[in-house]
A and B are shown apart, each in its own frame.
Chain A
Amino acid sequence: MDQVSSQITQKLNTIVGAEDRHSIRSKRKTINALLPYAVWRERDGQPEMLDAFLCAARASGTSEFGWSRVRQHVGAPLSKATPRAVVLASPHIQWEFLADRGDLVRRWAAATSAVPDTEEVVQSVLDTLFQVASQDALLPHIPANVWSWLAKKPSLPPVYWGRDAGAHLHVAKAVRGLGNIKIIKSYFLLVWSEWDYLASGGFDESRASIREDFGGVGDGCHRAELIQHLDRVLAQLDRGLEYLQQHNPNPGERNFRMMKDQYRELKEILLETNIGAVARESYPTMMRIRMLTQADMLGSRVTFMCALPP
Chain B
Amino acid sequence: MLGKQWLNRYASTDMRGTAIERSQNRQRKLDGIVAWYFDHMVGSLPLMLQAALLLLGCALSRYLWEIDTTVACVVLGFTSSGIIFYVFIVAAGAASESCPYQTPGSNALRYLRPEVQRMLRSAATIIASTFRDTFRKSKTVRTIEMNVRCYYPWWSGDKIKPFLNDMILEVPGALAADAYHLWATMVRLLASFPPGVYRLSSTIVTPLVSVVRWVHNWSHGLEQGSVQQATTLDLRCISWMLQTSLDKAVHLSTFNHLATMITITEFDPTLATSCFNAFVSCVTVGFSNREVVIMQGLEQLATVSALCFFNTISHLLVMDPASSVLEDVRQRYLRVFPAQADFHCHQSYHTVNAARCLLVRWRERQFFSWSDYKPSTHEQTMVAHNLATVARAEFQRTQRVKIPRLILRFALHSLSLYPPPLASIVADCLSIIAIDLGCDMSDTGTTTSDERYVHVL
Contact = CB atoms under 8 A, between A and B. Distances in A.
B433 A8 contact: yes
Interface in A1-56: 1, 3-5, 7-8, 11-12, 15, 27, 29-34, 36-37, 40
B451 to A, nearest CB: 11
Interface string B409-452: 10111011110100100110111011011111100111000000
Contact of A77 (B416, B427, B441, B446): B416
B206 interface: no
B132 interface: no
Interface stretch (A66-74, A143-151, A187-195, A277-285): A66-74
A7 B439 CA distance: 7
B229 interface: no
Nearest to A76: B418
A232 interface: no
Nearest to B403: A30
Contacts of B440: 7
A80 interface: yes
Contacts of A8: 430, 433-434, 437, 439
B415 A37 contact: yes
Contact of A5 (B371, B409, B413, B430): B430
Contacts of B412: 32-33, 36, 69-70, 73
B238 interface: no
A73 B427 contact: no
B408 A37 contact: no
Contacts of A7: 434, 439-440, 444
Nearest to A67: B412
Contact of B437 (A12, A69, A74, A77): A12
Interface in A61-100: 69-70, 72-74, 76-77, 80
5 contacts: A4-B427, A8-B439, A11-B439, A29-B405, A76-B416
Given A4-B434, A8-B433, A74-B416, 7 more contacts: A3-B444, A7-B434, A29-B408, A33-B409, A73-B416, A76-B417, A76-B418
Contacts of A15: 437
B439 A30 contact: no
Q: How large is the interface on A (under 10, 10 to 19, 20 to 34, 35 or more residues)?
A: 20 to 34
Contacts of A37: 415-416, 426, 429-430
Q: How large is the interface on B (under 10, 10 to 19, 20 to 34, 35 or more residues)?
A: 20 to 34
Contacts of B147: none
B185 interface: no
A194 B445 CA distance: 49
A72 B409 CA distance: 11
Nearest to B418: A76
Contacts of B438: 11
Nearest to B371: A72
B427 A33 contact: no
A77 B420 CA distance: 10
A5 B411 CA distance: 14
B373 to A, nearest CB: 11
Given A4-B444, A29-B408, A77-B416, A72 B434 contact: no
Contacts of B434: 4, 7-8, 11
Contacts of B415: 33-34, 36-37, 40
B2 to A, nearest CB: 59
A34 B371 contact: no
Contact of A33 (B371, B408, B444, B446): B408
A257 to B, nearest CB: 37
Nearest to B440: A7
B416 A1 contact: no
A11 B412 CA distance: 18
B369 interface: yes
A37 B418 CA distance: 11
A34 B5 CA distance: 65
A1 B369 contact: no
Contacts of A32: 412
Contacts of A3: 444-445
Nearest to A7: B439
B410 to A, nearest CB: 9
Contacts of B423: 1
A12 B441 CA distance: 15
Given A72-B371, A73-B413, A33 B445 contact: no
A4 B430 contact: yes
A50 B386 CA distance: 27
A33 B418 contact: no
Contacts of B369: 69, 72
Nearest to A12: B437
Interface string B384-409: 00000000000000000000010011
